[in-house]
């Protein structure tokens, strides 16, 4: 009987020993364990010291992974000695379908009052390292079962779309500025391209400007797409339709921009480029040299050859490409860009790209150097 009672006491001691050995409790949980792919969910982390006989500090982090993305939106830390408490709140985005484990790193750092006081005993230039006994704590992962999105879904969340087009009439190759704004709550609404490329339309695109607004209620995004478009002829942009899915209401919806038509006015091409055939080659009559040689027999053949070369160069330079004067007369980057695009897009492609960067990506240029570069390509 005594032997059995001893076994019972030992058994109870073994059961309750871990509870007394642990210095703290923790609770990690999500508000939705079966989200859709890219659906934002909340991850709450609470760590609470339960043993008042020691001084505790904690190092905590959500492990990085290509299966999910975690963004911390709130933090509450009470580091009162003997009563340490931590609360973290994250927005979590599952990035793949199927089963996902959210893993954590947690380190318990144990010390005492004397070591804490000693670490702060020096001045700010003589800070002493806090001595702690560190222990890596094994934490069970939070398990998610992630659902697939409806087919063709491009955006996940509750978003609104607006746009601004400053003009629908322009000259040939004149850039037309456009701005598209997507804002709301959900997975960041960043897409590679809004409008597909077309052979007869030239797009100038900037990287999307992403603004993030965080609060305890979640994260709101505002993404601005700034671009410009140009063409030699009138054209129509097809309707823009972005397929979105709201995981809260479990409904699909479309964000739309109706088709946009642009009337392009053609300048008289003769204003930009001279269409005349190049003038006939300049013929030099060298018959006078025969007589000249008779009078200048004392001169060497080398001198005569150099004089002929200088004469030919001087007379050839007198024949100038009619586009050169038009290049020199351009007073700003925009007019020079239109001229070069209308003249010969392939020949002047490096200069065109530099001008585009200046106009649509805030690049710095020296207009005089760009003109000189274009003039050199005419020779």
CATH topology agreement for domains 19-146 and 155-265:
yes
Q: CATH class for domain 155-265?
A: mainly beta
- Torsion of Cα atoms, 325 then 326 then 329 then 332, to 10°: -140
Out of 123-132, 308-317, 365-374, pick the least confident: 308-317
19-146: CATH topology? Immunoglobulin-like (2.60.40)
Query: Token match 């969910």: residue?
Result: 41
Mean residue pLDDT of the chain comes to 80
- State the pLDDT at residue 165: 94
Out of 133-147, 196-210, 248-262, 308-322, pick the least confident: 308-322
At residue 284, the 3 state secondary structure works out as coil
- State the pLDDT at residue 354: 82
- State the pLDDT at residue 129: 67
| Domain extent listing, the chain | 19-146, 155-265, 271-376
208-217 pLDDT tens trace: 999 999 988 9
Taking the alpha carbons of 84, 89, 93, 97 in that order, is the dihedral positive or negative? positive
CA 262/CA 264 separation, integer angstroms: 6
In the chain, what percentage of residues exceed pLDDT 90? 47
- State the pLDDT at residue 121: 59
Q: 163 Cβ partners below 8 Å, 6+ apart?
A: 178, 179, 180, 181, 257
Statement: residue 144 has pLDDT above 60: yes
306-342 pLDDT tens trace: 554 455 444 444 456 777 888 888 888 888 877 777 7
- State the pLDDT at residue 153: 97
Statement: residue 125 has pLDDT above 60: no
CA 175/CA 354 separation, integer angstroms: 15
Local confidence band at 243 (pLDDT 50, 70, 90 cut-offs): very high
Rounded to an integer, the average pLDDT of 137-153 is 96
Out of 19-28, 133-142, 194-203, pick the least confident: 19-28
Rounded to an integer, the average pLDDT of 225-235 is 93
Taking the alpha carbons of 112, 118, 119, 124 in that order, is the dihedral positive or negative? positive
Statement: residue 277 has pLDDT above 50: no
- State the pLDDT at residue 300: 53
Decide if 203 contacts 235 (C-beta within 8 A).
no
Rounded to an integer, the average pLDDT of 75-103 is 91
């Amino acid at each position: 009987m005594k032997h059995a009672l001893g076994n019972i006491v030992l058994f109870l001691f073994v059961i309750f020993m871990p509870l007394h050995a642990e210095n703290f409790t923790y609770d990690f949980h999500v508000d939705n364990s079966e989200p859709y792919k890219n659906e934002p969910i909340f991850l709450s982390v609470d760590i609470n010291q339960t043993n008042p006989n020691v001084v505790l500090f904690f190092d905590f982090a959500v492990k990085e992974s290509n299966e999910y993305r975690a963004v911390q939106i709130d933090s509450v830390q009470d580091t009162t000695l003997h009563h340490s408490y931590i609360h973290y709140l994250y927005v979590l985005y599952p990035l793949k379908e199927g089963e996902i484990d959210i893993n954590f790193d947690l380190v318990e750092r144990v010390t005492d009052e004397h070591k804490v006081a000693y670490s702060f005993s020096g001045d700010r230039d003589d800070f002493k390292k806090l001595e702690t006994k560190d222990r890596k704590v094994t934490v069970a992962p939070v398990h998610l079962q992630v659902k697939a999105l409806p087919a063709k879904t491009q955006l996940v969340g509750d978003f609104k779309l607006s746009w601004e087009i400053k003009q629908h009439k322009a000259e040939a190759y004149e850039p037309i500025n456009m701005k598209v704004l997507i804002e709301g709550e959900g997975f960041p609404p960043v897409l590679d391209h809004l409008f597909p490329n077309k052979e007869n339309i030239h797009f100038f695109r900037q990287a999307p400007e992403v603004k993030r607004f965080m609060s305890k209620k979640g994260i709101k995004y505002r993404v601005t797409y700034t671009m410009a478009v140009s063409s030699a002829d009138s054209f129509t942009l097809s309707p823009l339709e972005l397929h979105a899915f709201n995981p809260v209401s479990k409904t699909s919806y479309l964000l739309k921009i109706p088709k946009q038509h642009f009337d392009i006015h053609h300048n008289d091409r003769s204003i930009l480029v001279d269409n005349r055939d190049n003038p006939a080659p300049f013929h030099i009559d060298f018959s006078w040299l025969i007589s000249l040689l008779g009078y200048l027999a004392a001169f060497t053949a080398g001198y005569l050859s150099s004089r002929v070369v200088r004469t030919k160069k001087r007379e050839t330079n007198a024949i100038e490409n009619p586009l050169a004067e038009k290049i020199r007369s351009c007073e700003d980057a925009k007019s020079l860009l239109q001229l070069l695009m209308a003249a010969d897009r392939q020949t002047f492609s490096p200069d065109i790209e530099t001008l585009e960067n200046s106009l649509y990506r805030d690049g710095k240029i020296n207009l005089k150097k760009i003109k000189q570069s274009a003039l050199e390509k005419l020779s």
